[in-house]
Amino acid sequence: MRFATHSTFVFYYTKYKTQNIMYTPPFISKKLPIVGHTLEFAKDHVKLMQRGFAEKGSVFAFSLAGKNAVALIGPEYHKAYFEATDKQLSIQKVYGFVQAITGKVFFLGSHETYLNQRPILYEPFKYRKSLKYVPIMQHVIEDCLQKLGDEGEIELTQYCIHITRQVAGNAFMGEKFQKEMGSAFWDLYDDISASLDVVLPPNLPLPKFRKRDRAKAKAKEMLKPVIAARRANPEQYDDFLQEFIQTPMVDGTYADDETLLNFIITFMFASHDTTSGHAAWTIIQLLQNLDYLKAVEAELAEKFSHGTKLELNNISMLEHIYWAIEESSRMNPTADILLRFVEEDWEVGAYTIPKGWLAFVAPKVAHFLPEIHENPDKYDPYRFDTTREEHKTCPYQQIGFGGGSHKCAGMFFAKNEMAVMIACLFRDFEIELRTPNPVVTRSKGTPRPSETMIRYKRKAKMPQGFQNEAHIAQAAAMGCPHAHKM
């Protein structure tokens, strides 16, 4: 059984619960003495997950250096996974490799800490607060693109990192911070990002971990006077950092300086590391699928000429771009596995997952189930069109941003940022993919495309008001000198 449909899942769950028969998940083959499947996991954890699914089905076990682990593939198992309580499945105990960067804040702290800090985590993303961020994104991104010149070549992923850092710096810390310290501050994140390692203990005396700690300490020293200035003159600021400072926690207290420093490190890391890779994959796949790109460019010509101001209430008009973002998240999720620690014996379907095991879900495998997605290996953003919405046929199928109470708080911020970036890029430039088949690399932290070169050439600006072919034809008939360049 490769995948448990809803009816099959309910049948087996009812049958085994009634008979009081529960099983430990079956182990996959090729388990080595002592190390188990650790070497295979470290080499390519996605391939291990794919092999386990092909060999044992939706639930299978493997071994990581003496620790037993279970993988759960499919919407019904995802539901059980994401709706489990923190007392059943703990995040904090398994993300030490991230905690070494962020400190013990939000879900990387204790359960009590997380619940207490939740108001600070979600306050900046409330609708009223989010209204100001889309215009900031557009201003920053258009400024970045203007500096590119009229034509040339760039490495795409690094350029996406540059843009997302500019957006994060301006939106989270303010324009003054980004201008005065942005470049020096962001350079530190190269060493911070490169330290991510799912397998090795994060406190080993290795060069990459020492570089991480030095970079983190230097970043905090740069941030301390910024926090002091904010506390002294709160009326002068209106951004994420000020929300962190002024938002009370559940217990009525406010975050101290050390906690604020960890908040900033966490948000600045999360705001660019995964978003840049996701944006790069979306652009790559558009350039690999020119028929769909034509639909995107037609939509931009109609709805997003120069001079059009994007706001939170009109950005959804870029629907072809949002569908492309969702399809890239499906095919190349930046979190290709998610992990929990089993705190107590946990019953899922016909299985009991013993206390002390590790529990994984694997978006990179689950997003390709043919029971959910038609032709899952095919690039097809229209599967997210309102007439199809394949991702809504089963809850918890699309899990690139996680799920449940720990779903990414900045998901909509990230999607909007990518939509603005992609819209401005393809409105302003003709783009050619010079690296035809990039692959996934994990050499610098989270999964991202391998080195990908693109060639760009600036288009003539389309005057506001001439937003589609009919307008262009009308402009040409009227003798507009720009019409032939549109």
Token representation of residue 85: 């309580």
Token representation of residue 402: 């996680």
Per-residue pLDDT, averaged over 41-46, amounts to: 94
Q: Which residue has the tokens 């619960």?
A: 17
Q: What is the pLDDT of residue 269?
A: 80
pLDDT per position as a tens digit, 175-227: 888 888 878 888 888 888 888 887 788 889 999 999 999 999 999 999 999 99
Residue 462 carries which DSSP code? Answer: P
Query: How does residue 477 score in pLDDT terms, banded at 50, 70 and 90?
Result: very low
Check pLDDT > 90 for residue 5.
Answer: no
What is the percent of the chain where pLDDT is above 70?
90
Which of the listed ranges 98-102, 227-231, 233-237, 429-433 does the model predict with the highest average pLDDT? 429-433
Q: What is the pLDDT of residue 8?
A: 46
Per-residue pLDDT, averaged over 403-413, amounts to: 88
Cβ contacts of 381 within 8 Å, gap of 6 or more: 292, 320, 323, 324, 326, 327
Q: Which residue has the tokens 């001079």?
A: 307
Residue 290 carries which DSSP code? Answer: H
Check pLDDT > 80 for residue 486.
Answer: no
Q: What is the pLDDT of residue 463?
A: 59
29 burial (CB, 10 Å; 0-12 / 13-18 / 19+) is exposed
CA distance 363 to 333: 7
| 421 or 393, greater pLDDT | 421
Q: What is the pLDDT of residue 426?
A: 98
| 122 or 11, greater pLDDT | 122
Q: What is the pLDDT of residue 27?
A: 97
Per-residue pLDDT, averaged over 250-260, amounts to: 93
**pTM attached to this predicted model:** 0.86
State which H helix or E strand residue 395 sits in. none
Per-residue pLDDT, averaged over 138-164, amounts to: 95
CATH number listed for the domain at residues 6-485:
1.10.630.10
**What is the Rg, in whole angstroms, of the alpha carbon atoms belonging to the chain?**
24
Closest C-alpha among 438, 418, 430 to residue 455:
430
Q: Work out the widest C-alpha separation in the chain, in whole angstroms.
A: 82
- Asked whether the beta carbons of 469 and 476 are under 8 A apart, the reply is no
Per-residue pLDDT, averaged over 121-126, amounts to: 86
Q: What is the pLDDT of residue 408?
A: 86
CA distance 465 to 350: 61
Q: What is the pLDDT of residue 446?
A: 77
Q: What is the pLDDT of residue 66?
A: 87
Mean pLDDT of the chain: 87
| 347 or 471, greater pLDDT | 347
Q: What is the pLDDT of residue 326?
A: 97
CA distance 321 to 315: 10
Provide the strand spans (E) within 437-480.
Answer: 440-441, 448-449, 453-458
Check pLDDT > 60 for residue 18.
Answer: no
Q: What is the pLDDT of residue 70?
A: 98
Query: How does residue 59 score in pLDDT terms, banded at 50, 70 and 90?
Result: very high
CA distance 165 to 391: 30
Q: What is the pLDDT of residue 20?
A: 54
pLDDT per position as a tens digit, 350-378: 999 999 999 999 999 999 999 989 999 99
Query: How does residue 11 score in pLDDT terms, banded at 50, 70 and 90?
Result: very low
Pairing of strands 338-342, 358-361: antiparallel
- Structural domain boundaries in the chain: 6-485
